[in-house]
A and B are shown apart, each in its own frame.
Chain A
């Protein structure tokens, strides 16, 4: 069975702090895809990144970076120099096989205070 665990329910930081959101996944498939989405207070899910299981290169996009480690089945997300606009719920998700079912973690609520 596939599963995504985001153990951190809520994180609170002060602006300009770095923060890492953890994501651990379980799958028996050898080919799979991992995602991060951001859900701001408006509710819409905003796509952030997709990573293929065969590509373990870490990725950096501005203040965002992602660390994919197959050895520990983790796909962690780091925000550097956090800003108030980063306040949102962040979801990690997994899909494989027919690609039609995204398995979401429970989400991590990030609050960035000025």
Chain B
């Protein structure tokens, strides 16, 4: 079965510091991968998605970047964090989970980022 991991689970960083959040998927190959952000008490916003190694699509202009160095690894980065980067970051993969549902996005446990 497929599993998706994210780390760290929580992170407190000062303004202006760099950021690296990692997401890995197991049990599937060549998945579409996604980064979402959820601001406090708000819905989810798609930040980036990737259909393959080295292929990144950005949905919104921002202080963040994404990379996909390996098939099942997706990294979210920033060179200098802003206060507004605080939020809950969720990684997702899209695929067939083998339960007859059809293609669906499945989410990881998330990373809570607080920028002070």
A-to-B contact residues, CB < 8 Å: 33, 35, 37, 42-47, 50, 52, 91, 99-102, 104-107
- A101→B43 contact, CB < 8 A: no
Nearest 5 A-B pairs (CB), nearest first? A45-B107, A104-B43, A106-B43, A104-B44, A43-B110
Closest Cβ of chain A to B86, distance in Å, is 14
Instruction: Tell me the smallest distance from the CB of A60 to a CB of chain B, in Å.
Output: 15
Q: Which of the candidate stretches B21-29, B75-83, B98-106 sits at the interface with the other chain?
A: B98-106
Q: How far is the CB of A71 from chain B (nearest CB, A)?
A: 23
Q: Is B52 an interface residue (CB 8 A)?
A: no
CA distance A72 to B41 in the complex (A): 28
Residues of A within 8 A of B110 (CB): 43-44
Shortest C-beta distance, A44 to chain B (Å), equals 5
In angstroms, Cα B32 to Cα A106, docked, is 24
Measured between beta carbons, the chain B residues less than 8 angstroms from A107 are 43
Number of B residues near A (Cβ < 8 Å) is 26
Which residues 47-75 of B sit at the A interface, judged by CB distance below 8 A? Answer: 49, 51, 57, 59
Is A44 in contact with B107, judged by CB distance below 8 angstroms?
yes
The winner among A42, A99, A105 for most chain B CB atoms within 10 A is A99
Which one of A50, A91, A101 lies within 8 Å of B49 (CB-CB)? A101
List the interface of chain B (C-beta within 8 A of A). 32, 34, 42-46, 49, 51, 57, 59, 88, 90, 92, 94, 101-110, 112
Residue of B49, B51, B90, B103 near A45 (CB, 8 A) is B90
Chain B residues closer than 8 Å to A42, beta-carbon distance: 109
Partner of A50, one of B46, B51, B104, B108: B104
A89 to B9 alpha-carbon distance, docked (Å): 20
**Given contacts A100-B32, A101-B59, A102-B105, A43 and B44 within 8 Å (CB-CB):** no
Q: Are A91 and B43 in contact (CB under 8 A)?
A: yes
Bound Cα distance A37, B105 (Å): 10
